[in-house]
Chains A and B, each alone.
Chain A
C-alpha cells in the first residue's frame, strides 16, 4: 500500500492514442502488492499494450482467479469489465463470458498456483477449447498471497526463503500449452518490457488462446539467493530466443524498418508479428521443434523467452462451435430462446 493515491496530474507531453487517451487513462486503483512485485510491472506492460492497441477500456474484460497475480486486474483499466473468480476457476468464467459476448477483448490474469495447481484442469481445457483470451500467467514459483509456499512451477533444487529445496519436478506452462495444441505460446520476464509488451499486443490480436508465461519475481518470498525465479537469476539465465515486434494492420508498414527482422508472420486480421531475431536453428512455427528447444534450454539451465510458438491461423471456440457472428448478448431474446415449440421440434429430430 502507498500512503497516498496517485496524484491526478499528468505530464503534459504524454502521447495520446487513436482514441485520444493517454496511458494514464488505462490505469486502475493503486496497487496493494508488495513494493517491487513483478506483477506490478506486468500490469504496467498490460496498460501500455492495451493503450497502444487503442482498445477502448470499456470494451475489455479482465478475468482472474485468486492470488497476488489475480488481484492485479484491479490495478489497470478501471473502466473495464472484470470478474474475480474463485481460485483456479477463471477459465470457466471467462469461457462463459466469452460465449455470451464475443465482441469484448478478454484478458485473463493468473498465477502459477492459480493455473498449475488448483486450476490446472481449467487451464488445460481452456487451451483445448481455443478460448479467445490473452492468458497472462504471472509466474513467481510460489504462492505469494499465502506467504511463499512452493508452487507447481518451482524448479527442482530451487530453495525456499528459509533454505529448504524443492524436490518435486515442475510443470512448465509453455511445454504444457505446446502439448495441448495452443496456437500462441510465449514466455517473457516482468523486468523486460521491451520484450513483454509486443508479445502482449500480439497475444491480444491472436485469434484464439494466447498463453504468455511471465516470470514475475515475488520480491517478498522468492527473490533470494538460491531462487530460480528471482530478478537476478532470471536476468542471468534468460535467453531471448524469439523476441517480436507487433505491427497492427492500420499502421503503415514503412513506419518501422523491417531491417534486421528475422521473420514476419501475418496474423488472421492482417496485422504482422515480426520476429526481431530468431535463435539460430529455431523455428517458432514448428510445434515439435519449439517443444524440443524449450526442453533442451531447460536442461542447460536456460530460460527460453520470446514468442516461442505461433500458429497465425489460431483456433477459436466460436469458430469450432459455429456460433453466430453476432455476440449472443446482442441476439434478440426471441431468437436466442425461441421457446417451447421450437425446442419440442428440435427434440423431435432426435427421437
Chain B
C-alpha cells in the first residue's frame, strides 16, 4: 500500500463514523464531549452550525449516524447520539445573541425560496448573514413544512419548532405566508437573482383497490389526515383503525389514531419485519402504545355495507426466495379485518403542477426535476431544488444538507462564480496530550449499556394530543450515555520516522488494531494482521517505511476504541492522539473561517 495521506480531510473524517454518516456531517463526538462538560450552549451551537435544528432533530432525526456508530461494532447498541443532541437543546442558555448577525446593509441580491420546510429554512439561514434579501413563499400560514403539519406534536412540541424556526425567520426573512406559488413562470419574472424550490413531496399515494371510493369519509390518505389533525379539521376517528403501510407516516398515523379515540389499531404490512421501512425504535414506540403490527398481509378490497366501511379484506402472503434470490409471494388465504377507518400510508409523491414545462426546467419521465447532485441546480441556471422536492421523500437532516449545498450554489451563482466551484473542506489536527498520561478527553472505556429513554406514563400520554412522550435524559442518564462514546474524532496519529519498532503499541491494543509487517497490497495485508480485517467498509491505515526494518505500521480502523493506550505505551510519541476537526465550507464562508463557534458562548 502507498502510505495513507492523512492530510486529506477525508481519511480521518471517515474514521468518525457518525459524522461521516450524517448528511450534514455534524461533529458528534465533540458535541457529546461538550455535553459531558456541561457546556450545553456550546454543544447546541456546534450542532446548529451543521444541522440548524438541534432541538427538532434531537427528537425526530432519522439518525443515520446511529447505525453507523462504531460503538455498535465494538459492544452493545450505538451511542444515543440523537437523544444527547436533545440534551444540549433542552439545557442551553439563551442563544439568540450568539447566532450569526445579519447585516443591515444588503448585498443587492434577491433570492426566492418556495416552501418553508427545513430545506428552504436552511438556505435562508445561510444566506441572510451574507446580506441577501430572502423572500419565502409558503402556502400555509406558518413555517416548518412537514415538521409542523405532519410530525405530531407528541413527538415534536410546537414550542421547540417555533423557537428554531423563529431563529431563522427573525433574521429578517421576507416571509409570505398563505402565498402558494402557482406559476413558476410568473415568479421568474419577478426579478429574483436565484430561486430555490423546497416544496417537498406533498402528495400521499393512493391505493387503487375495489371499494376505495365507497366510503370516502372513513378512508384517509395518511399525510393529509395528519395535516387535518394538525389544523384541527379532524378531532376523532373510529374505534377500529387500520393503517396500511409500515413507514414513518404509518407510525405517526397509528399513534395519532390512538389519541383521537382509536382503541383497536392495527398497522398492516405486506412484508415481514426485517423489510419494514419504519425504524425499530418507531415500531417499539407504537407497540408500547398498544398498536398491533400485522405482517404479510396485502390489501385486497374495502368492504362496505350500505355505504359504511366495515372491514378490509387482505390476502395473507407467504414469502419465499427463488433460485435467483428474488423474493416471491404466494397467497395463503383471504382474511377480512373489521375496521371503522382505514388510513393509507404507503408513501409520498412529488407533484409540480405549478412549474410549467417550457421554462427550461427539465423533468424526467417520472415527473421529477433533473437536479445536479453536487450543485442542487436544475437545468435552468439559477433555479435550485432541495429537500424532498429534489429526489423524493427523505428526511429533515437530508433537507438541511441540501439546503447548505444549495446556499453555496446560490451564493456562487449570484457572485458570478461557477456553481461547480465547490469550496474545499479543511481540517485541523491538534494533539490532545495534556501530560504524561493525561488526555483532553475521557479515554477510559465504559461498558455501560445504551441508556433507554424515559417515556411519559401511558395514562397521561393520551389525555391531549400534544403531551410529549419522550421526557429527555436526566443528568444521570446523560452522564452515563456520554461516556459510552468512543471519541472517534480523537485520531491515532502516527509519525513513522519516530518509531523504534518496540511493538509496545501492537501488544497493548485491546482490539488488535495494529500490526508491524512487510508491505503488500491491501487485499493481502488484510489477511495478515494481528486480527483479520474483514470489514471492508473500514479503512486500513498504512505508514511510510519504518526506519529500522523498512516494514510498515498498519492500522485497521474498524474497531479502534480511541483509548489512547497505543500512544501511552509508545516510548517515542510516534503515536499521538490528535483531535480532528473537519472544517466545512458554507455559503460565503470558506472552510475554517468565522464560525458561530462554541467558543463564542464562553466569552459571552
Contact = CB atoms under 8 A, between A and B. Distances in A.
Contact of B500 (A1, A6, A193, A231): A231
A4 B483 CA distance: 14
B11 to A, nearest CB: 22
Interface string B477-511: 00000000000000000000000111110111011
Interface string A5-43: 011111101100000000010000001001111101101
Interface string B239-283: 000000000000000000000000000000000000000000000
Contacts of B559: 11
Given A223-B500, A232-B548, 20 more contacts: A2-B565, A2-B568, A2-B569, A4-B444, A4-B565, A7-B510, A7-B563, A9-B75, A9-B510, A36-B570, A36-B572, A40-B503, A40-B504, A40-B508, A43-B507, A44-B507, A219-B500, A219-B571, A231-B501, A235-B501
B527 to A, nearest CB: 12
Interface string B554-575: 0000010101110011111000
Contacts of B570: 35-36
Nearest to A235: B548
Interface centre among B501, B507, B563 (most CB of A within 10 A): B507
A140 to B, nearest CB: 12
Interface stretch (B124-132, B166-174, B214-222, B435-443): B435-443
A284 interface: no
A3 B571 contact: no
Contact of B511 (A3, A9, A41, A190): A9
A4 B549 CA distance: 31
Contacts of B437: 1-3
B531 interface: yes
Interface of B: 74-75, 437-439, 443-445, 447, 500-504, 506-508, 510-512, 531-532, 534, 548-549, 559, 561, 563-565, 568-572
A235 B499 CA distance: 14
27 contacts: A1-B437, A2-B569, A3-B439, A3-B444, A3-B564, A4-B445, A6-B508, A6-B565, A7-B445, A7-B510, A7-B561, A8-B447, A8-B510, A11-B512, A14-B512, A24-B510, A34-B571, A35-B569, A36-B572, A37-B502, A37-B504, A44-B503, A190-B503, A193-B503, A217-B502, A219-B502, A235-B501
Interface centre among A9, A11, A34, A223 (most CB of B within 10 A): A11
Interface string A170-214: 000000000000000000001101000000000000000000000
A232 B564 CA distance: 26
A13 B502 contact: no
Nearest to B438: A3
Contacts of A43: 507
Contacts of A6: 508, 510, 565
B445 A41 contact: no
A35 B568 contact: yes
- Dominant SS at the B interface? loop
A231 B447 contact: no
Contacts of B510: 6-10, 24
Contact of A35 (B548, B563, B571): B571
A142 B561 CA distance: 36
Contacts of A223: 500
Contacts, number: 102
Interface of A: 1-4, 6-11, 13-14, 24, 31, 34-38, 40-41, 43-44, 190-191, 193, 217, 219, 223, 231-232, 235
A14 B501 CA distance: 23
A17 B593 CA distance: 55
A129 B549 CA distance: 40
Interface centre among A35, A40, A190 (most CB of B within 10 A): A35
Contact of B501 (A7, A13, A191): A191
Contacts of A36: 500, 502, 504, 569-572
B502 A235 contact: no
A7 B486 CA distance: 12
A217 B532 CA distance: 30
Interface centre among A13, A190, A217, A231 (most CB of B within 10 A): A13
A11 B511 contact: yes
A-B pairs with the 5 shortest C-beta distances? A36-B571, A7-B445, A44-B507, A3-B437, A11-B531
A231 B549 CA distance: 11
A9 B509 CA distance: 11
Contact of A13 (B444, B503, B534): B534
B531 A14 contact: yes
Contacts of A7: 444-445, 447, 510, 561, 563
Nearest to A231: B500
Interface centre among B502, B564, B565 (most CB of A within 10 A): B502
Contacts of A9: 74-75, 445, 447, 510-511, 561
Nearest to B511: A11
Interface centre among A2, A190, A193 (most CB of B within 10 A): A2
Contacts of B532: 13
Nearest to A15: B531
A217 B504 CA distance: 12
Nearest to A219: B571
A256 to B, nearest CB: 16
B441 to A, nearest CB: 11
A74 B131 CA distance: 67
B565 A235 contact: no
Contacts of B508: 2, 6, 31, 40
A90 to B, nearest CB: 24
A13 B532 CA distance: 7
B211 to A, nearest CB: 53
Nearest to B506: A44
Contacts of B564: 3
Contacts of A232: 500, 548
A92 B506 CA distance: 35
Contacts of B531: 11, 13-14
Given A2-B569, A11-B512, A44-B507, A38 B502 contact: yes
A217 B570 CA distance: 14
A35 B504 contact: yes
A8 B76 CA distance: 13
A196 to B, nearest CB: 11
B497 to A, nearest CB: 13
A35 B502 CA distance: 9
Nearest to A3: B437
Contacts of B571: 34-37, 219
A130 B468 CA distance: 78
A41 B500 CA distance: 13
Given A8-B447, A14-B531, A191-B502, A235 B549 contact: yes
A9 B445 CA distance: 9
A6 B569 CA distance: 12
A197 B304 CA distance: 80
Contacts of B447: 7-9
A294 to B, nearest CB: 24
A75 to B, nearest CB: 10
A7 B445 CA distance: 6
Contact of A4 (B443, B501, B504): B443
B156 to A, nearest CB: 36
Nearest to B571: A36
B410 to A, nearest CB: 47
Nearest to B573: A35
B511 to A, nearest CB: 5
Given A2-B437, A11-B511, A36-B570, A231 B548 contact: yes
A1 B565 CA distance: 10
